[in-house]
Amino acid sequence: MKMQLAEIAKALNSSVNMGEDKVITSVVFDSRKATPNSLFIPLAGVRDGHDFVSNAMANGAEATLWKKGHEGKPTDVPVIEVEDPLTALQSLAKYYLGKVNPTVVGITGSNGKTTTKDMVAAVLAKRFNVHKTQANFNNEIGVPVTILEMKPSTEILVLEMGMDRPGQLHHLSELVRPDVCVITMIGEAHIEFFGTRDKIADAKMEITDFLKEDGKFIYNGDEPLLEERAAKIKQDKSTFGFREEDTVFATTFRSYMHHATFEINDSEQQFKIPMIGKHNVSNALAAISVGRHFGENDEQIAQALANFTPTANRMQWKKGDVGEAIMDDVYNSNPTAVKAVTTSFGQVMVQDGGRRIAVLGDMLELGDESAELHASLANALDPAIINELYLYGPEMKNLYDALVDKYPAANLHYYPQDEMNHMIDDLKNDIKPADIVMLKGSHGMHLEKVLDRLM
């Protein structure tokens, strides 16, 4: 963005007390990240953002928003008064979005939305000026900040859009009014707040609430919950997946240690992605569908997919301190994701004498079904394939109990949450150079600390 304070104030139906001609090129809500030419947004959180205005200004911010009626309004710096800073941030983003007027691709799903976002952006960047969500900045704060970060020359804006409650995607869809909507899949993420997968599907479908009349809806055709809901969408639709009924479907796929290859219907092109697993092939199928919608040919799409850079902590291979290969997937976790990653990990060949060792941490936000969902992972685990298991956290005790008759005692290990260091010590004593190790758990379980110690 690049706007004078006077224009920002007008866009927010307000005024600025001084410095109307100051140029703003970024917005920040963390005072520590304020820089010259930035506008500080004092959001309400654990702490009141207004308490940090002076810090933001000291770090270089040019101006700040201020909630009307909030005490302590500064008089010596540029201030724009608003009814609510978060609403103002969103309104400013909507104004700037209309000013730049890019084509908007909105992507959501219980799993795969970040990887799909990265793939789609890489595919479209071959011919267009593309701006995408950084990391997983995908909520009511992250989406408007992403919009305001895009350059005026942006032609396509690729937005990851997340949700943890009903109505959230409806609001984000209204904000961005997408030209293309993508839903990767329906899983159990946030089932604690929704109760059933049906309700999760309803909430995910909210991304289409403000899909433009001439827009496109691209979704996973292998998910019955999406298929029945998509029937109500009047805009153009297409599906991706592994069924012959899908618009784009994989006819073959192979997963290796560092990549996967696949072929699709109606094309002679060979595709390769620098990630493993059927679920990532599914994400690539979504990206192919979007690329074709924008006129990319399969050769261009294949080249982009082969070279795209995934967001950190998405099934990356790293080398441990005794030479073992470690699959790092510690960003988030839910039953669907664990089963998919475990299946992919089980397909990776090991050296002679090597073992597949999985470290699984609790899957959070599963509510009343948590114990049952943790135990249900037992069906996806085979000691002949995943040779050894380290289970960490109070909820993983349910999986441990479900596996005691399936796994040899020497190959099944359980650790309460206060015994991470004990688990790490046991792992370091156990792992051999020929082994491969998988780390998977919700971010709140902090398995990245295990990774750091193993490396």
> pLDDT, tens digit, for every residue of 406-424?
999 999 999 999 999 999 9
**Residue length of the chain:** 455
The answer to whether 184 is annotated as binding is no
> pLDDT, tens digit, for every residue of 157-180?
999 999 988 999 999 999 999 999
Residue 80 is classified by DSSP as E
The answer to whether 204 is annotated as binding is no
Domain annotation covers residue 91: no
Cα(101)–Cα(413) distance, rounded to whole angstroms? 54
- CB atoms under 10 Å from CB of 186, counted, come to 25
Averaged pLDDT score across all residues of the chain:
94
Q: Which of 268, 269, 285 is nearest to 277 (CA)?
A: 285
The answer to whether 116 is annotated as binding is no
Given a cut of 60, whether residue 362 has pLDDT beyond it is yes
Which pLDDT value is given to residue 190?
58
Domain annotation covers residue 217: yes
* Residues 182, 278 within the same domain: yes
* Residues 161, 180 within the same domain: yes
The answer to whether 110 is annotated as binding is yes
Last residue of a domain, one of 307, 331, 355: 307
* Residues 171, 195 within the same domain: yes
* Residues 77, 108 within the same domain: no
Distances (CA, A) of 177 to 106, 157, 170, 172: 9, 11, 10, 8
Domain annotation covers residue 97: no
Q: What would the mean pLDDT of 214-223 be, rounded to a whole number? A: 97
> How wide is the angle at C-alpha 225 spanned by C-alphas 301 and 377, nearest 5°?
85
Given a cut of 80, whether residue 192 has pLDDT beyond it is no
Domain annotation covers residue 87: no
Q: Which of 8, 58, 179, 5 is nearest to 107 (CA)?
A: 179
Backbone phi and psi for residue 303, each to the nearest 5 degrees, phi listed first: -65, -40
Domain annotation covers residue 254: yes
Which pLDDT value is given to residue 110?
87
Sign of CA dihedral 40, 45, 48, 51: negative
Which pLDDT value is given to residue 314?
59
Residue 310 is classified by DSSP as P
Last residue of a domain, one of 274, 307, 340: 307
CATH of the domain at 322: 3.90.190.20
- The four Cα atoms 189, 190, 196, 200 give a dihedral, to 10 degrees, of -80
Domain annotation covers residue 122: yes
* Residues 130, 13 within the same domain: no
Q: What would the mean pLDDT of 301-309 be, rounded to a whole number? A: 96
> pLDDT, tens digit, for every residue of 230-271?
999 999 999 999 999 999 999 999 888 788 999 999 999 999
User: Of 111-120, 249-258, 299-308, 379-388, which gets the smallest average pLDDT?
Assistant: 249-258
CATH of the domain at 301: 3.40.1190.10
Which pLDDT value is given to residue 191?
61
* Residues 39, 120 within the same domain: no
Domain that holds residue 25: 3-82
Which pLDDT value is given to residue 221?
97
The answer to whether 332 is annotated as binding is no
Q: What would the mean pLDDT of 36-46 be, rounded to a whole number? A: 95
Given a cut of 60, whether residue 313 has pLDDT beyond it is no
The answer to whether 126 is annotated as binding is no
What confidence category does residue 312 fall into, taking pLDDT thresholds of 50, 70 and 90?
low
Domain annotation covers residue 417: yes
| Beta-bridge partners for 105 | 158, 180
* Residues 150, 267 within the same domain: yes
Last residue of a domain, one of 265, 288, 307: 307
What's the total number of domains in the chain?
3
Cα(255)–Cα(341) distance, rounded to whole angstroms? 11
Q: 206 vs 349, which has greater pLDDT?
A: 206
* Residues 293, 326 within the same domain: no
Given a cut of 70, whether residue 315 has pLDDT beyond it is no
* Residues 303, 412 within the same domain: no
Asked if 143 contacts 137 with a C-beta cutoff of 8 angstroms, the reply is yes
Q: What would the mean pLDDT of 215-240 be, rounded to a whole number? A: 96
What confidence category does residue 189 fall into, taking pLDDT thresholds of 50, 70 and 90?
low
* Residues 331, 438 within the same domain: yes
Residue 44 is classified by DSSP as B
Domain annotation covers residue 14: yes
* Residues 236, 325 within the same domain: no
SS3 of residue 180 by DSSP: strand
Which pLDDT value is given to residue 66?
98
* Residues 182, 225 within the same domain: yes
The answer to whether 115 is annotated as binding is yes
SS3 of residue 237 by DSSP: strand
> pLDDT, tens digit, for every residue of 70-101?
999 999 999 999 999 999 999 999 999 999 99
